[in-house]
Chains A and B, each alone.
Chain A
Amino acid sequence: ETGVTQTPRHLVMGMTNKKSLKCEQHLGHNAMYWYKQSAKKPLELMFVYNFKEQTENNSVPSRFSPECPNSSHLFLHLHTLQPEDSALYLCASSQEGGHEQFFGPGTRLTVL
Chain B
Amino acid sequence: GQNIDQPTEMTATEGAIVQINCTYQTSGFNGLFWYQQHAGEAPTFLSYNVLDGLEEKGRFSSFLSRSKGYSYLLLKELQMKDSASYLCAVRDQSVGSARQLTFGSGTQLTVLP
Chain A residues at the B interface, C-beta cutoff of 8 Å = 4, 31, 40-45, 48, 50, 55-56, 90, 94, 96, 99-106
Q: Does B73 lie at the interface of the complex (its beta carbon under 8 Å from any beta carbon of A)? A: no
Which residues of B are found within 8 Å of A45, using beta-carbon distances? 100-102
Beta-carbon contact of B105 and A94 below 8 Å: no
Beta-carbon contact of B42 and A94 below 8 Å: no
| Distance in Å: Cβ of B84 to nearest Cβ of chain A | 14
Of all chain A residues, the one with the shortest Cβ separation from B96 is A55
Given the known inter-chain contacts A55-B96, A104-B42, please indicate yes or no for A42 contacting B4, CB distance below 8 A.
Answer: yes
A-B pairs, 3 with minimum CB distance: A103-B42, A43-B103, A42-B103
Given the known inter-chain contacts A41-B105, A42-B105, please indicate yes or no for A90 contacting B43, CB distance below 8 A.
Answer: yes
What separation, in Å, do the CA atoms of A43 and B103 have in the docked complex? Answer: 6
| Distance in Å: Cβ of A60 to nearest Cβ of chain B | 14
Beta-carbon contact of A40 and B105 below 8 Å: yes
| Distance in Å: Cβ of A101 to nearest Cβ of chain B | 7
Which residues of A are found within 8 Å of B33, using beta-carbon distances? 99-100
What separation, in Å, do the CA atoms of A41 and B87 have in the docked complex? Answer: 11
